[in-house]
Amino acid sequence: MSVLKKKCRGRFLAVAIMAACTASVAAASESTDERGRTIDKDILVQIMALHGLDERGAIARLAAEEEATDLYRRVRSMDLPAYAGA
């Protein structure tokens, strides 16, 4: 379970960084995902370089990481102390 927590924390940090950066940058340096949310170009460049993706792939990865973080939060909020992930 600790491996899952570490992965989710990492993904949460990536999403949090993305959110913080997109809120503070000018519109000229932003890209938009399919939901209309803006994503900082610098974050996209870093994700593309880190994972060897094109812009569309980087946007998809960030969206998947955001979805995983949301799922993690929902499961944690259920307060299931005996839940073993099965």
pLDDT the model gives residue 49: 92
Scanning 25-82, the segments in alpha helix (DSSP H) are 41-51, 55-77
Higher pLDDT among residues 11 and 61, named by residue: 61
Predicted confidence at residue 25, as pLDDT, reads 44
pLDDT at 68: 93
Domain ranges of the chain: 2-77
The Cα–Cα gap between 5 and 17 comes to 18
How many CB atoms are located within 10 Å of the residue 68 CB? 16
Comparing CA positions, the residue from 44, 41, 42, 43 lying closest to residue 57 is 44
In the chain, the percentage of residues whose pLDDT exceeds 90 is 22
* Cβ–Cβ under 8 Å, residues 38 and 22: yes
Does residue 22 surpass a pLDDT of 80?
no
